[in-house]
C-alpha cells in the first residue's frame, strides 16, 4: 500500500511538472521580437526603436537617381525611370513619375513613405511620455528630442513637395476613421516650427555627445531656418504667386499652398534671425569662413573638395577638418555596404566601368564664373576656344569634363590611358574617321553607360586614387544641413530686407574660400549674383529643384531644353597623333559646340509642376483630400 501511495505521489508530481512546463512553454515570449510594452521599460530598447525611425532618411541624397536630375543641374543617363514624366510635365495623379522614395506621400511610397515614418515618430513621442526606464544621462529627453526632430523633418519634406498636408500628430488605432483633410500651409509651417523648438530644448547641449548622424540641437535649428526661408519665399506668398502664375491664380484653395495674407517682412525677418542665431552659435563650425581675401585657385579647389568629402576621404586633396561644416548628415559604415556608398559607381565615367547616372548639363557648367568674377560667355571668342580654362575653382571640384585629370584608369580598365584624363570628345588619330573617347557612349571600354552630355559628376566622389568606384565603396557623408546653407539663408533674407552690405559681407566669405573675388552689386543685381552663388556652391545637394520653384524662376530654368557638349579635336598640319590618345593643344585644334538635344528628355515647364500631385490612390482612399493646382 505504501508503494502504491508512493507511485501515485510520484505520478502526480510528474503530471504537475509536465503540465506546468506545457503552460510555461505556451506562455514563453518570442525570442526574436520585443513587445511594444517592454520596449518602453528599457532604455536601450527604446533607443533602438527611435534609431529605426532614421530609416526614413533613406540614402540621404545618394540614391542612384538624384534630385539634381529633376533640375537644371543634371540629366539622368538611363531612360525609363520615370524622371521624364516629371521633367516633361506629363505627371498627374495616376502617374506621379519618380521622386526619392523617402519623400513620397502615403501609398505611393509603400512602407518607406513619409507617413509611415511619421506614425513611428508619433508612437515614440507618445510612449516616451510614460516610459518607465531610468532617464540616465538624459536619455529619455534625448530620444524625445530626436523623435520631434524627425517628425518635423518628414513633414518638411512633404510640404516642400506638396504644399500643405494633413497633420497627423498621434498614432491611429485599428478601426478608426483615417480620413483627414489637409491642414493649411500656415498650420503646417507652425507645426513644423513647434516640433523644431521642442527638439532644440530637449537636445540642447548634447551636440558633442552624440554619434555622427543622430539629430542634435544644430540640426533642429537648421531645419527651422530652412522652413522659415521657404515660408517667406515667393511661391508661398499667395499674392506674389498669383501674379506670377495663372494656374495658382485660378486655384480655389490657395491657403493649402501659401499665406493668403500676413506680414511678409515679418516672415523674412524671422528667417534672418533664425539663420543668424545659428551662425553666431556655431561660428567655429564654418569651414574657412573668416577670410578677408580670396585664396589661390588651387586652394579654392581643395577647400571645395574638402567640403564635399565631409571628412570621409583619405585623399591628399581633402582636408578632414572640413567635417565640422556638417550639422546633420547621413553617415556610412563599411560593413553595411549601403547604396549611398556607391556614388562613384552610380555617377562616374563609363571608361572606368561606372554608370554615368546624373550627368551635368551644359547650363550648369556655363553658370560657373570666370576667375575674375565675370560671366562665362559663348559669344566671347576666348571663352569659346578654351571653355574650361580660368574658371571658378568649384567647377574643377564638381564636374569632370574632357581633358580633366582623374584617377588611375589602369586600376580597372587596363593601361589604355597613361595620362588618366577624361575623354568625352572625338579625336583625329590620323585615320579616315574620328575616334570616340574612352568616356563616350561609343567607348571601346563600355559603350552603354556613357554620359550623353559630355560631362560627369565629380562632387561627392572620393578622389582617393585607391578607391576604384566600380567595386570599392566610399564613406562620404550626405549633408542634410551644413553651415554654408545657413549662411545662404541669412544672405537671402538680408537681401530681401534691403540689407545689402551685410548680405555682401557673408556672400564674399563663401566666395573667398573658393578663391573667387568679392561681389559689389546691390539690389536686384545682388540677388542675381546670390542665386548663382547658391546654385554652384550647393550643386547636387538637393537644393536647386526646390530653390527654382520657391523663387518661381522654374519656367526659365527647370523648363529649359537640355544642352550637351560636342567636342571635336583635329590634328594640326604636320602633327602626329599620340598613341594612346592624350590631350595635347600643341597637336590638336579643339572645337566645342553646345548642342540642344531633346531625344532623351524633351523638357518643358507647366505651372502645375510647382507642386507634385497627390497620388490618385490617396485621393480615392481619403475623400477629404483636395488636389493641388493644375491637376
564 assigned to some structural domain: no
**pLDDT of 402:** 98
Q: What is the largest CA-CA distance in the chain?
A: 124
**pLDDT of 39:** 87
Query: What's the burial of 45, exposed, middle or buried (CB within 10 Å: 0-12/13-18/19+)?
Result: middle
Which H or E run includes 595?
Answer: strand 588-596
C-alpha 374 chain-centroid distance: 29
Residues 255 and 272 in one domain: no
* pLDDT (average), residues 131-143: 93
Residues 160 and 271 in one domain: no
pLDDT digits (tens, 9 = 90+) for 197-210: 999 999 998 876 78
pLDDT digits (tens, 9 = 90+) for 409-434: 999 999 999 999 999 999 999 999 99
Q: How confident is the model at residue 27 (pLDDT cuts 50, 70, 90)?
A: low
Residues 255 and 293 in one domain: no
pLDDT digits (tens, 9 = 90+) for 57-68: 999 999 999 999
* pLDDT (average), residues 257-276: 98
C-alpha 363 chain-centroid distance: 20
Residues 110 and 180 in one domain: yes
What average pLDDT does the structure give for the chain? 93
Last residue of a domain, one of 541, 568, 585: 541
* pLDDT (average), residues 307-333: 97
Contact between residue 76 and residue 356 where contact means Cβ atoms under 8 Å apart: no
196 assigned to some structural domain: yes
**pLDDT of 86:** 97
- b/e sequence 60-80, b meaning 16+ C-beta within 10 Å: bbbbbbbbbbbbbbbbbbeee
Residues 82 and 136 in one domain: yes
Residues 224 and 289 in one domain: no
Query: How many other C-beta atoms can be found within 10 angstroms of the C-beta atom of residue 159?
Result: 22
* pLDDT (average), residues 561-580: 98
Contact between residue 74 and residue 68 where contact means Cβ atoms under 8 Å apart: yes
606 assigned to some structural domain: no
User: Coil, helix or strand for 45?
Assistant: helix
222 assigned to some structural domain: yes
490 assigned to some structural domain: yes
Give the side-chain half-sphere CA count within 13 A for 613: 21
104 assigned to some structural domain: yes
CA end-to-end span of the chain, whole Å?
A: 92
pLDDT digits (tens, 9 = 90+) for 148-176: 999 999 999 999 999 999 999 999 988 89
pLDDT digits (tens, 9 = 90+) for 598-616: 999 999 999 999 999 999 9
pLDDT digits (tens, 9 = 90+) for 484-512: 999 999 999 999 999 999 999 999 999 99
- pTM of the shown model: 0.94
Strand partners, 400: 456
Residues 162 and 289 in one domain: no
Examine the pLDDT at 1 and tell me if it is beyond 50: no
Rounded to 5°, the CA angle 196-197-198 comes to 90
**pLDDT of 123:** 97
Distance, in Å, from the CA atom of 370 to the CA atom of 366, rounded to the nearest integer, reads 10
**pLDDT of 455:** 99
> How many domains does the structure of the chain reveal?
2
User: Coil, helix or strand for 149?
Assistant: helix
pLDDT digits (tens, 9 = 90+) for 84-120: 999 999 999 999 999 876 667 765 444 458 999 999 9
The CB-based long-range contact list for 32-39 (8 Å cut-off, 24+ gap) reads 36/127, 39/127
For residue 508, the enclosing domain spans 263-331+482-541
Query: How many other C-beta atoms can be found within 10 angstroms of the C-beta atom of residue 401?
Result: 23
198 assigned to some structural domain: yes
Last residue of a domain, one of 519, 541, 563: 541
Q: How confident is the model at residue 9 (pLDDT cuts 50, 70, 90)?
A: very low
Last residue of a domain, one of 541, 558, 586: 541
CATH number of the domain at 213, please. Answer: 1.25.40.390
Q: How confident is the model at residue 554 (pLDDT cuts 50, 70, 90)?
A: very high
Specify the residue for cell string 537640355. Answer: 562
Distance, in Å, from the CA atom of 102 to the CA atom of 67, rounded to the nearest integer, reads 12
Which triple of cell numbers denotes residue 48? 533602438
Residues 287 and 315 in one domain: yes
Distance, in Å, from the CA atom of 160 to the CA atom of 317, rounded to the nearest integer, reads 35
Residues 256 and 293 in one domain: no
DSSP line for 274-303: HHHHHHHHTGGGSTT---SS---HHHHHHH
Determine what percent of the chain falls in helix, strand and coil, rounding each to the nearest 5: 50, 10, 45
Amino acid at each position: 500500500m505504501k508503494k502504491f501511495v508512493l507511485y501515485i505521489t510520484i505520478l502526480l508530481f510528474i503530471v504537475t511538472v509536465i503540465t506546468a512546463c506545457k503552460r510555461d512553454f505556451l506562455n514563453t515570449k518570442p525570442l526574436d521580437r520585443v513587445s511594444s510594452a517592454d520596449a518602453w521599460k528599457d532604455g536601450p530598447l527604446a533607443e533602438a526603436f527611435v534609431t529605426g525611425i532614421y530609416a526614413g532618411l533613406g540614402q540621404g541624397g545618394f540614391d542612384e537617381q538624384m534630385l539634381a536630375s529633376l533640375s537644371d543641374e543634371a540629366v539622368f543617363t538611363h531612360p525609363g525611370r520615370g524622371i521624364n514624366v516629371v521633367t516633361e510635365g506629363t505627371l498627374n495623379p495616376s502617374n506621379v513619375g519618380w521622386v526619392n522614395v523617402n519623400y513620397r506621400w502615403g501609398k505611393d511610397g509603400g512602407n518607406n513613405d513619409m507617413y509611415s515614418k511619421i506614425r513611428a515618430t508619433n508612437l515614440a513621442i507618445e510612449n516616451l511620455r510614460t516610459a518607465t526606464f531610468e532617464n540616465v544621462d538624459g536619455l529619455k529627453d534625448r530620444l524625445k528630442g530626436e523623435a520631434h526632430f524627425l517628425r518635423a523633418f518628414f513633414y518638411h519634406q512633404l510640404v516642400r513637395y506638396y504644399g500643405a498636408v494633413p497633420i497627423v500628430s498621434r498614432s491611429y488605432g485599428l478601426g478608426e476613421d483615417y480620413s483627414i483633410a489637409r491642414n493649411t500651409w500656415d498650420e503646417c509651417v507652425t507645426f513644423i516650427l513647434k516640433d523644431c523648438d521642442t527638439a532644440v530644448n530637449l537636445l540642447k547641449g548634447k551636440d558633442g555627445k552624440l554619434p555622427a548622424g543622430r539629430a542634435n540641437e544644430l540640426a533642429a535649428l537648421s531645419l527651422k531656418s530652412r522652413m522659415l526661408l521657404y515660408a517667406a519665399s515667393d511661391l508661398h506668398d499667395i499674392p506674389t504667386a498669383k501674379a506670377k502664375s495663372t494656374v495658382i491664380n485660378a486655384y480655389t484653395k490657395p491657403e493649402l499652398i501659401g499665406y493668403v495674407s500676413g506680414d511678409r517682412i515679418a516672415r523674412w525677418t524671422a528667417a534672418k534671425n533664425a539663420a543668424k542665431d545659428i551662425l553666431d552659435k556655431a561660428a567655429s563650425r564654418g569651414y574657412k569662413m573668416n577670410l578677408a581675401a580670396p585664396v589661390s585657385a588651387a586652394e579654392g579647389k581643395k577647400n571645395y573638395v574638402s567640403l564635399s568629402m565631409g571628412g570621409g576621404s583619405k585623399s591628399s586633396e581633402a582636408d578632414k577638418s572640413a567635417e565640422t561644416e556638417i550639422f546633420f548628415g547621413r553617415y556610412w559604415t563599411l560593413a553595411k555596404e549601403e547604396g549611398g556608398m556607391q556614388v562613384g559607381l552610380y555617377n562616374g565615367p563609363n571608361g572606368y566601368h561606372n554608370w554615368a547616372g546624373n550627368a551635368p548639363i551644359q547650363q550648369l557648367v556655363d553658370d560657373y564664373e570666370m576667375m575674375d568674377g565675370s560671366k562665362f560667355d559663348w559669344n566671347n571668342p576666348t571663352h569659346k576656344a578654351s571653355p574650361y580654362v580660368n574658371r571658378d575653382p568649384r567647377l574643377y571640384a564638381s564636374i569632370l569634363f574632357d581633358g580633366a585629370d582623374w584617377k588611375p584608369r589602369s586600376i580597372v580598365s587596363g593601361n589604355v590611358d597613361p595620362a588618366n584624363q577624361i575623354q568625352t570628345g572625338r579625336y583625329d588619330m590620323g585615320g579616315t574617321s574620328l575616334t570616340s573617347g574612352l568616356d563616350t557612349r561609343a567607348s571601346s571600354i563600355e559603350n552603354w553607360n556613357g554620359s550623353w552630355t559630355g560631362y560627369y559628376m565629380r562632387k561627392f566622389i572620393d578622389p582617393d586614387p585607391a578607391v576604384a568606384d566600380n567595386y570599392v565603396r566610399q564613406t562620404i557623408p550626405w549633408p542634410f544641413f551644413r553651415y554654408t546653407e545657413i549662411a545662404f539663408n541669412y544672405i537671402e533674407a538680408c537681401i530681401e530686407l534691403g540689407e545689402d552690405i551685410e548680405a555682401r559681407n557673408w556672400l564674399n566669405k563663401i566666395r573667398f574660400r573658393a578663391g573667387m573675388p568679392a561681389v559689389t552689386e546691390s539690389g536686384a543685381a545682388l540677388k542675381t549674383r546670390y542665386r548663382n552663388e547658391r546654385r554652384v556652391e550647393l550643386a547636387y545637394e538637393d537644393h536647386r529643384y526646390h530653390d527654382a520653384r520657391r523663387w518661381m524662376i522654374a519656367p526659365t530654368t527647370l523648363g529649359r531644353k537640355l544642352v550637351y557638349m560636342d567636342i571635336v579635336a583635329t590634328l594640326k598640319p604636320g602633327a602626329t597623333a599620340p598613341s594612346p590618345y592624350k590631350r595635347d593643344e600643341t597637336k590638336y585644334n579643339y572645337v566645342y559646340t553646345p548642342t540642344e538635344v531633346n531625344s532623351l528628355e524633351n523638357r518643358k515647364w507647366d505651372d502645375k509642376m510647382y507642386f507634385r500631385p497627390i497620388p490618385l490612390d490617396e485621393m480615392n482612399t481619403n475623400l477629404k483630400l483636395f488636389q493641388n493646382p493644375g491637376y
